[in-house]
Amino acid sequence: MTSREADVSSTSEHIPDAHTDAHSRQPIHPATARNSWQLTAHSADLRRPLVAARPISFGALPQELTIDLARTALIVVDMQNDFCHEDGWLAGIGVDVSGAVAPVDPLQRTLPALREAGVPIIWLNWGNRPDQANLPPNVRHVYDPAGEGVGIGSLNNNALSPVLQRGSWAASTISELTIAPQDILVSKYRMSGFIDTPLDSILRNLRVDTILFAGVNSDQCVLSTLMDAANLGYDVVMVEDLCATTSPDFCAQATVYNVRQCFGFTALSPDLLAALDLSETLPKAL
């Protein structure tokens, strides 16, 4: 198999649309549109684009939630071949990965609705350097506990694709999920997506306060990233049916308990989608 890489206050002064530069009028990427200056040859307006609040409310635990779509992003964690595909690394070491694809159908319904609502989608995947120069021994040990050369970077999967290596089929997002041109891809090198990556800078450039979480494994990389997000001051919401794990069920139960008890909230995608349907008349975020 070949590798695949896969409430705005009124103002008398006009502030340009955040999707274009005020001087050149050239399109700029949505990732930087929300945190930009307006420039001419003679002046620099440091006011950021004004963004109208777009609140929605939906059922969640331990309490009903109201979030601002204009300050929200979804992070999809590790929905990649090595964890979710029968030819990937996890299946190759004897793990039943059928549960890892449980989020696919609800994600297929939720992702287009969030994009239509102007919510950024961030795909957070393992994508290691071929030389593994930034991987400490404790990370390498997780995937190769006996030091037999069968972990990260090896060809220890049925696809003979370098395990979790950036640019490989193994590290690519599964084909059942579509990455849109406006989506943002971030490679990670730890269980948490915040360590040694630009994830925090990207979220701050997007001016995000609230993060919705999806992906696998809910009790490992999803939880680790969610915990770091909460510790950094972000509002965190685990969307339960958009997450899954190949771990024993008690691990999933403990994860949901701890998210609600210590870090943030849990919700279900049908409730989120129903709230998005009610918000269709709201102006879209920049």
**Catalytic positions, written as ranges:** 78, 188, 221
Contacts of 279 (CB under 8 A, 6+ apart): 54, 56, 69, 117
Residues linked to residue 38 through DSSP beta bridges, in sequence order: 45
Interatomic CA distance for residues 113 and 52, integer angstroms: 19
And the tokens for 256?
């949901």
And the tokens for 161?
């694709």
Give the β-pairing of 72-77 and 121-126: parallel
Number of CB atoms found within 10 A of residue 52's CB: 15
Q: Which amino acid is at 85?
A: H
Q: Which amino acid is at 255?
A: T
